[in-house]
Structure 1
Amino acid sequence: MNARRRQTPDGLPSRVYVKHGSYYWFKPGTNRWVKLCRVSDGETAMLERLTAEKRKAESATGSGNIPALVDDYVDLHKRKHKEKAWPHYAEYVKSSFRDVDVDQVDPAYVVEFLTTNWDGKLHMQRVMRAFLSGFFAWCIIKRHMSVNPCREVKLKKPKARDVYIPDGHFIAIRNALAKEKSGRDVRSGEMMQCFVDLCYLTMQRSTDVRNLQWMHVDREAKVIHFQPSKTEDSTGEAVDWPITPEIDAVLERARTFGKVKGKHVIHSLSGKPYGATAVRSAWDRACERAGLGESVYTVKDIRAKALTDAERAGYTMEQLRVAAAHSDVKTTEIYLKSRLTPTSVVRMNMPKAG
């Protein structure tokens, strides 16, 4: 909604309007309303907040056209991205390129941006290169530039994560999810255990377990219908996972948890689904309580452990590919290769004197 030009003077500063009992500023170049304060707080409070917002906007905008273009790009595309953090990547770009016009950016600018902000953090460099590449591609369509500078930027591929959670550590973390060091119960501990159990027993991505809804639990067919969110727009691979007695027990625990029953299997006491940050924080705190440190293992390592344990139990790579909803067995092989330590069968004897 755009701000309309005033028909009659009302004594308010330019671009400041009263809506729903509050003062709002229509921020130039962004098509956004910024709430300043309640009308009941008075005009002095409004003017102070307006001054602070203008000062912040001026420091962030700079002399280049990139910040304004990034805002337009994010506004148009943020609904297409499932990752909640995606719009926030724009702030890094706006800050670093505030005095640069988009047609001035070359590969050297991009490399400097990535290495200055995320030196040694290869994954984040690739994430931000992808964001920039999408932005520059949009700028080309809008005729603001003619060449995407990210095409010439080559980044080192991050080393495949090779962490495996030993059984003892896994059980210790799982127990710590439900108990504080003092022995007191954690309020959401039982549901966090259900989350971890389903991640392991179904071998699915933590995101898909966290977002699993009861409508996908098919009691009649005795399966859970998983449509992996990561591949639904590409390979479209899906998998029906049988509801084993172990999984059924976990589902029943989840069903009885909390006062409000929502549509999600993994839910809070109020029936709402958990966000990625909530489950990650619960896992990290449990790792710390278990004496393992909060950065040794991640939630994503649960899936790797499950697949690795299944391979050691004798399941074939093709069976694991289907279980993991991978489109190519090579993906499954890569997934497991770094976590499987081969045992040598060579036996040596000490040499004897002739």
Structure 2
Amino acid sequence: MSRKLPPRVYQKHGAFYFVTNPDRKWIRLGQTESEMYRALAKLKSTDVHLGEMSEYFERYEKEIIPTKAPRTQTDNLAEIKNLRQAFGKMRPEHIKPKHIYAYMDARGATAKTRANREKSLLSSVFSSLIRWGVVEDNPCKNVKNFQEKARDRYVEDWEYEAVLSLASPVLAAAMEIASTTGMRQGDILNLRYADLTENGVPVTQNKTGKKQIFEWTPALKAAIESAKHHPRHADSIIYIIANERGQQYTSEGFKCNWQRLMNKALETGAIKERFTFHDLRAKAGSDAEENAQKLLGHASATTTRRVYERKPSKVKPIR
């Protein structure tokens, strides 16, 4: 049937049934959806096992995550695996703030940012549980996040040029695209020759769905041309940033190549401190100054200022 039913509710012979766990007893809920939901509420009040969190994580994964932006989907699928390990065997109504704090403390010992993101996803799951009529309250709402310090690494021009001189043509092209447009790594890896137009480079941000067209500039044209110096470049290559086999880079594959480039730059003394590829997005935002928000495609100027504008501001003394 096309309609989505609550976990462990099935329609059979014109009526709705709830199947208990683990004894697999079929409990008749009624013939209409309103009867079904009223009966479910009564079952819950009598403490019938209405399902563990693992079932609701599965429903959230099937119904809610696919509605999000592609990058968010990828992040959520990784986050929900960790949440399932910690809370999967618990019933929703048994999860209290103390359990979430215990999870945050354990996860935050090595990854505070990830702990915050996973708690946010758990909160979203509970918001869906409220909508589905499973629980009445969200235990995450009073659990505080770890305080996060925004990254402030600004890549100086001389550092950028030093690393660029050591990069392969393809990595150099990726660097130039990032520092010119402020695109994220994932969006750069998705660029295809077939998408290029006379007006510029159209991009739909993988993380937010924001649509942009980066108009042609001499620097952007030169960056695209640089990628064509690929050792196996041919008309059959689809993606602008292609690996040694002429195929699209995976995220992990590109990161490995970037780390090798960083190691080389440090070993040769070209730079003293490594920087991430994502720092080039911040460099673009910082160097763009007044145009930073539009360049990066942010809905909020606050995000642009707080996270991506890292260049020290120049201040003229009063005398």
Q: TM-score, normalization: structure 1?
A: 0.64
- In structure 2, the residue corresponding to 1:218 is in which secondary structure? coil
2:203 matches 1:226: yes
Change (3 A) 1:98 1:250: closer
CA RMSD of aligned residues (A): 3.1
Counterpart CA distance in 2 for 1:344 and 1:274 is 46
Counterpart CA distance in 1 for 2:122 and 2:294 is 35
Change (3 A) 1:329 1:87: closer
Shift of 1:160: 1.6
Give the conservation status (yes or no) of the 8 Å contact 2:287–2:311: no
Higher RCO (C-alpha under 8 Å, 6+ residues apart): 2
Change (3 A) 1:231 1:197: same
Counterpart CA distance in 2 for 1:326 and 1:96 is 34
2:288 matches 1:298: no
Change (3 A) 1:333 1:173: same
- In structure 2, the residue corresponding to 1:150 is in which secondary structure? coil
Corresponding residue number in structure 1 for 2:260: 285
Counterpart CA distance in 2 for 1:329 and 1:88 is 29
- In structure 1, the residue corresponding to 2:163 is in which secondary structure? helix
Shift of 1:212: 1.9
Name the aligned partner's letter for residue 223 of structure 2: V
Corresponding residue number in structure 1 for 2:54: 67
Name the aligned partner's letter for residue 203 of structure 2: F
Corresponding residue number in structure 1 for 2:238: 263
Deviations 1:200-228 (A, max 9, x none): 12222332222222243212x3x222333
Residue 119 (structure 1) aligned to one of 109, 114, 117: 109
Give the conservation status (yes or no) of the 8 Å contact 1:288–1:294: no
Name the aligned partner's letter for residue 247 of structure 1: L
Corresponding residue number in structure 2 for 1:196: 175
Corresponding residue number in structure 1 for 2:213: 240
Shift of 1:111: 1.5
Shift of 1:254: 2.1
Shift of 1:244: 2.0
Identity across matched positions, percent = 19
What are the residue-to-residue correspondences of 1:12-161 with 2, within 5 Å? 65-81=52-68, 82-83=70-71, 84-119=74-109, 121-161=111-151
Shift of 1:329: 4.1
Counterpart CA distance in 1 for 2:272 and 2:52 is 41
Give the conservation status (yes or no) of the 8 Å contact 1:217–1:224: yes
Corresponding residue number in structure 2 for 1:16: none
Residue 223 (structure 2) aligned to one of 241, 245, 250: 250
Counterpart CA distance in 2 for 1:288 and 1:332 is 29
**Long gaps (5+) in structure 1:** 1-27, 30-63, 179-189, 312-316, 348-354
Give the conservation status (yes or no) of the 8 Å contact 1:160–1:338: no
Give the conservation status (yes or no) of the 8 Å contact 2:155–2:275: yes
Shift of 1:78: 4.6
Shift of 1:295: 8.4
Give the conservation status (yes or no) of the 8 Å contact 1:287–1:294: no
2:308 matches 1:339: no
Shift of 1:343: 4.6
Deviations 1:20-52 (A, max 9, x none): xxxxxxxx99xxxxxxxxxxxxxxxxxxxxxxx
- 83-92 or 104-113, which moves further after superposition? 83-92
- In structure 1, the residue corresponding to 2:201 is in which secondary structure? strand
Counterpart CA distance in 2 for 1:150 and 1:120 is 21
- 207-216 or 331-340, which moves further after superposition? 331-340
2:161 matches 1:171: yes
2:184 matches 1:216: no
- 148-157 or 332-341, which moves further after superposition? 332-341
Deviations 1:151-188 (A, max 9, x none): 2222144122111112232233333433xxxxxxxxxx
Name the aligned partner's letter for residue 219 of structure 2: E
Shift of 1:294: 11
Name the aligned partner's letter for residue 197 of structure 1: E
Change (3 A) 1:301 1:269: same
Corresponding residue number in structure 2 for 1:184: none
Corresponding residue number in structure 2 for 1:3: none
Corresponding residue number in structure 2 for 1:22: none
Give the conservation status (yes or no) of the 8 Å contact 1:254–1:265: yes
Corresponding residue number in structure 2 for 1:43: none
- In structure 1, the residue corresponding to 2:167 is in which secondary structure? helix
Deviations 1:298-336 (A, max 9, x none): 11100111232343xxxxx1x333323334544433345
The structure with the larger Rg is: 1
Q: TM-score, normalization: structure 2?
A: 0.71
